[in-house]
Amino acid sequence: MDFSRRDFLKKVGATALATTAMTDIWAGPTKKMFYEISLAEWSLHKALFAKKLTNLDFPELARKEFGIEIVEYVNQFFKDKANDTTYLKELLKRSKDNGVRNHLIMIDGEGGTAELDDATRKKAVENHYKWVDAAKFLGCKTIRVNAYGKGSAEDVAKAAVDGLGRLGEFAAKSNINVIVENHGGYSSNGAWLAGVMKQINMKNVGTLPDFGNFCIDRKPNSRECANDYDRYQGVKELMPFAKGVSAKTHDFDASGNDTEIDYVKMMKIVKDSGFKGIAGIEYEGSTLPEYEGIKATKALLEKVGQMVS
């Protein structure tokens, strides 16, 4: 870690007490919750893209700044390092030195596992092999991939069953799970993605329900959603196949509750499915700085966990 990053961390740490009303009044959990909390690296994407942090800094930061012992990496922040054993050894050392468990790598930019063209889909599947190997090296249990393809819902579903099935077979040799997040397009239709999972029917292939990613289509040249799937229905449909959940947040009210998602309702759905796993913090807001947003999300998950566990 160079001087500028150390300086940045110190500066942020000095403002930690001024997080939100929620973190000021919330003393932390008093009973065991039915889920553990992890930190998704995407929560820090602004700092990472600005080079104020690097992927190697992430495990120590998660543990020391946020008190979180489980992490979820994003391959964009070490995209050329999947086969770099020296780099992966250093990342593993830093996670072990800080008592951090490497749980997941989120994979983007390697192609759609549901592309209709056989050769294109096969190439996308094979592009993920190196990340399966990297996940195994780092001690992760899972990689998150995208079930993307262009065509009719039926045709893309058929391609997804093939592509994800092939990748699942390869990953099974290393005891790695392959999971799909609702990440736009057909994958944000809970019934569609659940149907794909039922057809694949493999123990190590599942879902990562994201509480906030249920926009199927956006308006032309706009971030505004044109076709939204009901988030609560979607999570309910995806939970039978879930090997984790992504606790998305954007903004908070004065009581520390998310302004878009009813977390009590959502976590009851998660609990009622029989889930006992990991909820990953994925703060994507702009009102609070990233560090404060992460702390507010953690406080919310702890508060709600006490209510529904």
Q: Provide the pLDDT for residue 218.
A: 83
Residue type, 183: H
Nearest-angstrom CA–CA distance, 283 and 279: 12
φ, ψ of residue 33 in degrees (nearest 5): -90, 165
- pTM of the shown model: 0.89
φ, ψ of residue 191 in degrees (nearest 5): -65, -40
pLDDT in tens, the chain (309 residues): 543 554 545 444 444 433 444 444 445 557 799 999 999 999 999 999 999 999 999 999 999 999 999 999 999 999 999 999 999 999 999 999 999 999 999 999 999 999 999 999 999 999 999 999 999 999 999 999 999 999 999 999 999 999 999 999 999 999 999 999 998 899 999 999 999 999 999 999 999 999 998 988 888 887 788 789 999 999 999 999 999 999 999 999 999 999 999 999 999 999 999 999 999 999 999 999 999 999 999 999 999 999 998
Q: Provide the pLDDT for residue 305.
A: 96
**Domain 34-308 = CATH 3.20.20.150:** yes
Nearest-angstrom CA–CA distance, 305 and 35: 8
Burial status of residue 149 (CB atoms within 10 A of its CB: 0-12, 13-18, 19 or more): buried
Q: Provide the pLDDT for residue 29.
A: 58
Residue among 86, 81, 7, 76 at smallest CA distance from 41: 76
DSSP string, 179-202: EEE--SGGGG-HHHHHHHHHHH--
Rg of the chain over CA atoms, in angstroms?
Answer: 19
Q: Would you kindly state where each structural domain of the chain is located, as residue ranges?
A: 34-308
Q: Provide the pLDDT for residue 28.
A: 57
Residue among 228, 179, 227, 176 at smallest CA distance from 200: 179
DSSP string, 207-251: EE-BTT--EEEE-TTSSSEEEEPPHHHHHHHHGGGBS-EEEEE--
Neighbours of 278 (CB within 10 A): 22
Nearest-angstrom CA–CA distance, 71 and 80: 20
- Check: CB of residue 246 under 8 Å from CB of residue 181: yes
Sole residue written with tokens 């780099």 = 87
Torsional class of 43: left (φ above 0), alpha (ψ -120 to 50), beta (otherwise): alpha
- Check: CB of residue 309 under 8 Å from CB of residue 259: no
Neighbouring residues of 292: CB distance < 8 A, sequence distance ≥ 6: 15, 18, 19, 20
